[in-house]
Amino acid sequence: MSIPMYSPPAFHILSKPRGAICNLDCSYCFFLTKEMLYPNSNFRMSDETLESYIKQTIEGHQTPEVMISWQGGEPTLMGLDFFRKALEYEKKYKKPGQMIQHTIQTNGTLLTDEWAQFFKGNNYLVGISLDGPRHLHDVNRVDKGGASTFDRVMKGVEFLKKNGAEFNILCTINATNQDHGADVYRFFRDELGAQFIQFIPIVDRLMDSSLIPTNEIQVAEDADVHHAGRLRRFYSQRGHVVSSYSVSPEGYGNFLNDVFDEWVKKDVGTIYVQMFDVTLANKVGAPPGLCVHSPTCGVALAMEHNGDLYSCDHFVEPEYLLGNIREKGMVEMISSGKQQKFGSDKLDTLPKYCRECEVRWACHGGCPKDRFTLTPEGEPGLNYLCPSFKLFFNHVSRPMEIMGDLLKKDLAPADVMTLWPEKKEDKKTRKRH
Ligand code: SF4
Ligand code: SF4
C-alpha cells in the first residue's frame, strides 16, 4: 500500500463490528439510531472487511505501536471467534518490531471467564461503561426491557478482576450523577478497585425547545425506530438545546472539581483520571492524547461494520462519510483534504472569546460537536461546556503547575500530595500573621 505524502504517522479508528446494535438501551446513547443508516444490513462485520481493516491499520502506521480498537453498539455481540480471527490477521500482517495493543469498549453485561481470559492473554484494555453506584447507574443504563443492568455489569467486572484482565471505567456525566463527583469516584476506587477512569460529559443536542431530537437528515423513509417502547429519531449533531438527561453547562466542571479535590489529596500516581492526565500534559506542553483538548483533531475516526469510514465517532452521518475501506485506501481517506479540514476547523473556527481565554492552554475550545452557544459578544461557536471548562481548568491550574514543575525536575508528580495542601496551609498561615 502506498502512503500519501502527507499522512499522519498514527491514527485511531473506533471500529464497530456489530454497528449500532446493542443489548442495552441507555437513554442518552447517541449511537443506537445510527442503525437507520443501514436499513438492510445484518450488522456483522464480514471476514473480508475485518481482514482489510487489520491489514490497512497495520500498514498505515509509521509508528512501532498500533492500536486496534473495538466499540459499538456492543462489540461482544460478535462472539469471541470474531476477535480470535482478528488476531490471526494481525499475525499475518504485523511488521517486525511492531507492537499491537487492543482496546474494547463494552457495557460488560455479556462478559464471562472465557472473555476475560482472552482479554488477559491478548493485550487488551477493556473499557467498562458504568455511571457510578447502582442508584445513579440504573437511571439511564437500562436493558431493552427498561430493567436494571447494574448487577450484570458488576458481574462482568468481577470476571475481569478474577482473571487479571486490565480494565478502565468509562463513566458518563449526566443530569443524574453530575452532583455526585466524589461519591462516584470513591465508588470506583474503593468498591470496584478501578485504577483508570474516564469521565465523558453527555451533551445531547435537540433541534429546538419542542425537545424533539433532530432528524434533518433523511436516512430512511421511516426514520423512526422503537427501542424499549420509546421512539427515537436519527441523532445528528444539530440543534441549540439539549435533552433533559444532558449534563448542565456547569455540572461537568463541578463534578470534575469534586473528584479532583479527593484525588489530589491521596491518589496521585495510583489512580489515573484521563482528564487530569490530559490537563497535566497540556500544562507541560506534551501531546494531551485526547482530541477534545488538543488544538486540532481529525486522527480519531470511526468505522462502521461494513467498512464505511467516518470523520469521527460523533459524526457518523452521511455528510462526514469519507468512503469505504474496501473501495478506497484507509490512509488516503485519513489524509484527504476533507478530513484535514475537519481536523483543522477545530482551531480555525475558534471564537475570539476562546482565543483570548486564560485557560485556552488546557481547553482549546473543547469538541466542535458541543460548540453551539454564543460568546458574551454574540459570536457563534462557543462550547456549551465552556462554564465547566473554566471552572475546572482554573481550579486545577496551580496544582497542575506544581506537578508540571516536579515532572520537569524529574520528580514524581505524586509529590504534589504533600506540597499542595501545604501551600494552601501556608497561605492561610500567612494571612493569619
Ligand atoms: S470532533 Fe470532537 S470527538 Fe471528534 S475528533 Fe474532533 S475533538 Fe475529537
Ligand atoms: S474555557 Fe471557554 S472560552 Fe476558554 S477556551 Fe474553553 S470554551 Fe473557549
pLDDT in tens, 124-181: 999 999 999 999 999 999 999 999 999 999 999 999 999 999 999 999 999 999 999 9
366 within ligand 2 shell (Cβ under 6 A): yes
Q: List Cα–Cα distances, 431 to 138, 394, 402, 420, 427, in angstroms.
A: 47, 22, 21, 17, 6
176 within 8 A of 217, measured Cβ to Cβ? no
- Give the three-state DSSP class for 115: helix
Q: List Cα–Cα distances, 70 to 79, 104, 124, 364, in angstroms.
A: 13, 5, 10, 27
- Bridge partners of 374, per DSSP, are 380
Give the cell for residue 261.
479535590
Cα four-point dihedral sign 314, 217, 342, 381: negative
Where helices occur in 172-214 by DSSP H, the ranges are 181-186
- 390 CA: nearest ligand 2 atom: 1
Closest CA to 380 of 357, 358, 349: 349
- What angle do the packed helices 416-432 and 251-266 form, to 10 degrees? 100
As to burial, measured by CB atoms within 10 angstroms (0-12 exposed, 13-18 middle, 19+ buried), residue 46 is middle
Helix, strand, coil percent content, the chain, rounded in steps of 5: 45, 15, 40
Establish how many alpha carbons lie within 13 A of residue 227's alpha carbon, considering only the half-sphere containing its beta carbon.
26
- Bridge partners of 133, per DSSP, are none
Burial 397-421 (b: 16+ CB within 10 A, else e): eebbebbbbbbeeeeebebbbeebe
300 within ligand 1 shell (Cβ under 6 A): yes
- Give the three-state DSSP class for 183: helix
Closest CA to 306 of 106, 41, 83, 4: 41
160 within 8 A of 194, measured Cβ to Cβ? no
Q: CA 123, CA 125: separation in Å to the nearest integer?
A: 7
368 within ligand 1 shell (Cβ under 6 A): yes
Q: How many CB atoms lie within 10 A of CB 112?
A: 14
Please indicate, yes or no, whether the overall pTM of this predicted structure exceeds 0.85. yes
Q: Which helix (H) or strand (E) holds 170?
A: strand 166-173
389 within ligand 2 shell (Cβ under 6 A): yes
- 386 CA: nearest ligand 2 atom: 2
Catalytic residues, which ones?
313
Report residue 273: phi and psi, to 5°. -110, 120
Please give the DSSP secondary-structure letter assigned to residue 178.
Answer: T
Residue 230: per-residue pLDDT: 52
Collect all residues with Cβ–Cβ distance below 8 Å to 342 and sequence separation of at least 6.
Answer: 297, 298, 311, 312, 315, 320
In a mutational test of the pocket of ligand 2, which residue from 275, 350, 360, 392 has the highest number of ligand atoms less than 8 Å from its CB?
A: 360
- Bridge partners of 303, per DSSP, are 15, 309
Cα four-point dihedral sign 254, 361, 384, 304: negative
Residue segments in the chain with a per-residue pLDDT below the cut of 50: 209-229, 422, 425-433
Q: CA 147, CA 229: separation in Å to the nearest integer?
A: 13
Q: CA 236, CA 225: separation in Å to the nearest integer?
A: 15
Q: What is the CA radius of gyration of the chain?
A: 22
In a mutational test of the pocket of ligand 1, which residue from 13, 299, 301, 314 has the highest number of ligand atoms less than 8 Å from its CB?
A: 314
- Bridge partners of 324, per DSSP, are 308
Residue 3: per-residue pLDDT: 53
Establish how many alpha carbons lie within 13 A of residue 370's alpha carbon, considering only the half-sphere containing its beta carbon.
23
Q: List Cα–Cα distances, 124 to 91, 103, 164, 261, 284, in angstroms.
A: 15, 5, 11, 31, 29
33 within 8 A of 88, measured Cβ to Cβ? no
Q: What residue's CA is closest to ligand 2, atom 3?
A: 354
Residue with cell 426491557: 145
Give the cell for residue 57.
491499520
